[in-house]
Amino acid sequence: MQQHKNKWLIALAAIGIHISIGSVYAWSVLTNPIMEAMGSNLRATTWVFSIAILFLGLSAGFLGSYVEKIGPRRSGLTAMCCFCGGMLGTALAIKLQNIFLMYICYGVIGGIGLGVGYITPVSTLVKWFPNNRGLATGLAIMGFGFASLIAGPLMQILTAQYGLVSNFIILSCIYAVVMTISALYLEPPQQVVADSKEKFIISTPPTPSYTVQEAMHTWKFAALWWIFFINITCGIGLLAVASPMAQEIIGMSPLAAASMVGIIGLLNGGGRIFWSTVSDYIGRRNTYVVFFVIEIFAFYLLADVTNSLLFQALIFIIITCYGGGFSCMPAYLSDLFGTRQLSAIHGRILTAWGLAGIVGPLLLSLIYERTHSYSLTLYFFSGCFVLNLIVAVILKYKTQNRA
């Protein structure tokens, strides 16, 4: 029996999934408690997060076709089982003090849940909001960016009151309920037949219709993968050192730096909905050009800035562009390749995220260890965005018939 569902509740269901799996961004809150409980060092503990992001990208890339095949409801439930199962396994790993079990549970199993859960609502939302694709994808992906604002304090409270093991058990139960309810409501727009004439709940503007294989063999896909990779590499590299960099360069106190990181989380989420909505009006091509012009100058200025207010303002601006790059990408892909296999195509693009999650922090730390300065890295990132701008401009003028 067919149902007519509310598209705004569909959007809310998408946010429910993303705000659950987005709690991975609050991992740093648990770093010290885990090191203390496991007797592990910082590098070993940080690898849990890196493996999770790596498998997010890999699972999104290689399971996108699976998500398209089984539909958003079952893929959402699959994401819930992997993500929440990974958290329960993490609780066991802490109990047994086995860091390798944590790599498998939170990193691999949980990471697969992250990847499947990330791409599950995207193509569904785009089909429900055909004339506001940026807004639609921004709504869901905004949840991923905002999640750490809720998860971070919640993790601190649960860990302090009930212990680290109970924290993971309680959170896994909460997220299981939220993700299950959300997944069960997700459904693509349905076709209805009345008076022997075919009508659609959602009327979509004409778009191309690529399969994932066809899309991957185009230069446009390669160009989008590259600019996505660079945007995340530089952005996540900055995120990894924002607090220590603020303390070293402008003498910010640890408490003030922590407050700045909280605002970064807010702007990461806010930038996703802001820029994706803007892209509906100025087009995705122009939006990415604006991103890279801003980031060229922001990273360049950040390398030499000593004023506290300017330092924070530049970081906040960069982070909005970083978040916006995530939320505008699915809409850009649907503009160029259609919605036929959008989850699969978006998944292939997200392999850039998995790789960038390792390359960004590693690149920054290597350069810093050799130079004992963040300036050279920031200049290098600025140069990377010059290349990105060139690619974005080529995309803009070679795809004039798409938004």
Q: What is the mean pLDDT of residues 132-148?
A: 82
pLDDT score for 125: 86
Cβ atoms of residues 50 and 358 within 8 Å: yes
pLDDT category of residue 164 using cuts at 50, 70 and 90: very high
The vertex-313 CA angle with 309 and 314, nearest 5°, equals 120
Residue 376 has pLDDT above 60, yes or no: yes
Q: What is the mean pLDDT of residues 55-75?
A: 88
Cβ atoms of residues 180 and 172 within 8 Å: no
Rg for the chain (alpha carbons), in Å? 21
pLDDT score for 236: 85
pLDDT score for 208: 75
pLDDT score for 196: 40
98 Ramachandran zone, left/alpha/beta (phi>0; psi -120 to 50): beta
CA dist 159 and 138 (Å) reads: 31
pLDDT category of residue 193 using cuts at 50, 70 and 90: very low
Q: What is the mean pLDDT of the chain?
A: 87
Q: What is the mean pLDDT of residues 369-373?
A: 82
Q: What is the mean pLDDT of residues 168-173?
A: 97
Q: What is the mean pLDDT of residues 20-46?
A: 83
pTM: 0.79
pLDDT category of residue 1 using cuts at 50, 70 and 90: very low
Burial of residue 85 (number of CB atoms within 10 Å: 0-12, 13-18, 19+): middle
pLDDT for 252-279, tens place per residue?
Answer: 887 787 778 778 888 888 898 899 999 9
Cβ atoms of residues 301 and 314 within 8 Å: yes
pLDDT score for 205: 52
Max mean pLDDT range (24-38, 139-153, 180-194, 208-222): 208-222
pLDDT score for 294: 97
CA dist 138 and 78 (Å) reads: 23
pLDDT score for 206: 56
pLDDT score for 230: 95
pLDDT category of residue 3 using cuts at 50, 70 and 90: low
pLDDT score for 269: 86
Give the residue with greater pLDDT, 96 vs 242. 96
pLDDT score for 152: 82
CA dist 103 and 240 (Å) reads: 20
Q: What are phi and psi of 199, to 5 degrees?
A: -130, 160
Residue 249 has pLDDT above 50, yes or no: yes
Residue 369 has pLDDT above 60, yes or no: yes
